[in-house]
Structure 1
C-alpha cells in the first residue's frame, strides 16, 4: 500500500503531481558565514565533528560548544535548521546526515567533510533531510564519488543537480509528520532492544555480584582449568560478499559486536579453498575475539543459532568447556562481557602501538573466573534464555519498523 492508502503503482488523484526541482534550486549548498554574523571571538557556538553525527539515528548525538575564535577558520559553518550531509566515504554510505537543531548561539561549525544544505522558502528543512536519507539517493551519490580510494567525496555539483520532488508546503508538512512518526517508531523499537540487552549485566550483578570485588566469595578458577580446548580457524583470502546456498562463509572479526553474534557478517570462501569442518561454527558455541582494538579485544559472543557452513577465522577463538567444569556457557558469556572481566581481558592482550592487541591462548587460560553454585547458574541461564526470546521478537519488530519507514520514504519522494 502507498502512503495514501492506495495500492502500489496507483497515484493519489486528490493531490496534484509535485513539481520537480534540483537541490541547487531549492537549497543554498555550503553557504558562507555572513559578514554580519554578529559573533565575537568569545561567543559560544555549536561544534559538530563528524563523529558527533550518529549514522543509526541520523541525529547529532553529541552536543559540544566552542568559542567562535577557535573554530572560525578550518571548519564548515552552518546555522539553525541547516541539514548536514557527510560527503566523504564511508560516512556518506553509512548514512551520516542530521538537521542542526538547538545550536548554541544559533550558529555552528563542523567538519569540512559535511555538505551543508540550507532550505529556501519553497521547502522545509525536514523535507530535504528525509530526501537525503533515502538509500537510493546515497546509491546515486556513491556513483558520483571522486578522489582516491579511502578519500572519495560526493562533489558539490552532484548535490546541486540532484532532482527532488517539491509538493506544496502543506503536503510537505503532512508527509514530514508521517515520516517523523515512522522514524520515531524505529528509534523506539531500537531503544527497547537496547534495554533488553542491559538486563543481562543487571541480572549477573544481582545474582552473583561484581566480578571484581566478588562480594559473595565465589570460588575463583583459572579459565584454562574449565576448558577442553581453545579452537581457532583460518582466514584465507575470501570473496567480499555474502555466501550463497551451498557455499561456505568465514566470519569477519566484526561478527562479534556488542557481545552478540551476527552470522550475516562474513565473507565467502572461494571454491579453491577446502573448508575444514572442524572449524564450523555450531549452535551453543562460546566465541571470543583474540585480536582487535584495545576496547574490543576479548569480546565474547554466544551462538544461539546458526544456519551452517560458517567457519571460524583465525582472529576468533572458540572456548570448549569441559562437561564437568561446573560452568554454564551462558553464565560464562555474561561474565566475560562484564566491565571488570573486560578490563582483565584487555590486560592480557599484548602488542605494539602499531598493531592491534592480541590475546594468546596461554594468557587467556590464566584468566580467573568466579564459579557460583551450579543451580544458580542454571537459574541464571533460564532467565537469559527468556530474555533472548524477547529479543528475537524485538528484532522482528525492529526489522518491520525499518521496512515500513524505508517504504514510506521511497513513496514520499516518488516523482
Structure 2
C-alpha cells in the first residue's frame, strides 16, 4: 500500500472569490454561507454571484484544522479556510475526509496550518476500488446516524408547533391571554459568586455541581451534566439551587435556558426562576422565552460582551394562559421527550457503530 502526504492527493483553492459581501442573512434566501468551524452554517444569502459549485469539496479551517465535507453550492464568510479537492485519478474525496477524522492534530497556536504542517501528514492510500468500498461501508453507517438525528429534530419541531397551537404566537398573543410581567409569575434571582477571582483554585474541585452559562446554552433545554464543582469554600460564597429551577443566562449567551435536573450552584451570569405554581410552570416560561430569545439578545447592550440585567427580565411581558392548559402542555411535552430520548439512544448506538467502523477501516 502506498504512503502519501495529504498534500499529494488534496489540492487547495483559496476561498477569496466566494466570500459573501453582506452578513445580512435570512432563512428565506437560497445560498448557504458556511464556515469550516463548529457552527458550519452561518445563514443564507441572496448573493448569487461567485457561488462555489465545484462540489463535493472539503472546507478546511486553516487555523483550527476543523473541516466539513460539502456536497452543495455555497459561499463563505472569510478567507480563513482552504477548499480541498482530490486528485481523482488516485483518491476518493470521501475516503480522504473519513481518514482526516482519525488524525489527531495539535492546533493550539494561532497560525495557518494547511501548507506548513497538515498537508504534510502521511496517510496510507489503498487502490481506488478499496477506498470506495470503505466509503460505502461508512456512508451506510452514517445514514443510520442521520435518520436518528432527523427524528430528534422532528420531535423538537413538534414541541415548538405544539406550543404555538395551544398558546399562539407569544409575541403577538393572538389568543388574547392576560399579560403580566415575568416577575409577577415567580421569583427571579441572580446566581451567586462573590469571591474574586471567580476561578480561584480553592473554590473548586469539591462535591457541589457548578453550572456555567455554556452549560445552560448547550443543555438542549435540560441541564443533565456539569463540568465544574465547588468545594466547601466555594459553596460558602455561592448557594445551591434546587432541581427544577429554570436557569436563564444574562451574559455572553443571552436568554438561553435550561431546567436543572439536579441541585447545583451557578454564578451571577445566570438567573434562577422559581414559578408560582398557581400561575405558571417552568416549562411554559422556558418555551415562551425560546421564541423571544433572539429579540432579547439583539436588544442587549454590548460592552466587552453582550449582557442583560435582572430588571430587564423582570419587566418582560408574558401572556399567561390558564394553568390547567399549561399543565396539559407539560404532560404532552413529557410524552414527546420520552420518544425523543429513545431516538437519542438510537443515535448514540449508531454513532458508536460508526466510530467502530471508522477505526476498523483505518487501523
| Shared fold, TM over 0.5 | yes
CA distance in 1, matches of 2:229, 2:327: 37
Q: Pick from 350, 358, 361 the counterpart of residue 409 of structure 1.
A: 358
Using the TM superposition, give the Cα deviation of residue 46 of structure 1 relative to its aligned residue in structure 2, in angstroms: 5.6
2-side partners of 1:181 and 1:59: how far apart? 24
Which whole-Å CA distance do the structure 2 matches of 1:153 and 1:160 have between them? Answer: 11
Distance (Å, rounded) in 2 between the aligned partners of 1:110 and 1:229: 41
1:146–1:153 contact (8 Å) kept in structure 2: no
Residues 52 and 61 in structure 1, CA contact (< 8 A), matched pair in contact too: yes
Residues matched between the structures, number: 346
Q: For structure 2, which runs of at least 5 residues remain unmatched after alignment? A: 22-31
Aligned with 1:189: secondary structure? helix
Q: Does the 8 Å contact 2:170/2:319 carry over to 1?
A: yes
Are residues 1:299 and 2:256 paired?
yes
Alignment match, 2:160:
201
Q: 2:84 aligns with which of 116, 119, 129?
A: 116
Task: Look up the match of 1:393.
Answer: 342
Shift, 1:64, TM fit: 8.1
Gaps of 5+ in 1: 1-18, 34-44, 72-76
Match of residue 122, structure 2, among 163, 166, 174: 163
8 Å Cα contact 1:47-1:63 kept in structure 2:
no
The range that moved more, 121-130 or 225-234, is 225-234
How far off its partner does 1:357 sit? 3.2
TM-score, length basis structure 1? 0.71
- 1:21 offset after TM fit, Å? 0.7
1:219 maps onto 2:182 in alignment? no
The secondary structure found in structure 2 opposite 1:234 is coil
Alpha-carbon distance, 1:311 to partner:
1.9
1:315 is matched with which residue? 269
Q: Give CA deviations for 1:13-70 in whole Å, capped at 9, x if unaligned.
A: xxxxxx141224741443699xxxxxxxxxxx865899604656989996887656xx
Question: Which of 7, 22, 26 is the equivalent residue of 2:4?
Answer: 22
Residue aligned with 1:401, SS: helix
Name the residue aligned to 2:280: 327
Q: Is contact 1:87-1:114 (8 Å) kept? A: yes
Cα shift at 1:367: 1.4
Name the residue aligned to 1:191: 150
1:290·1:297 contact (CA, 8 Å) conserved in 2? yes
Q: Does the Cα contact within 8 Å between 2:182 and 2:316 map onto a contact in 1?
A: yes
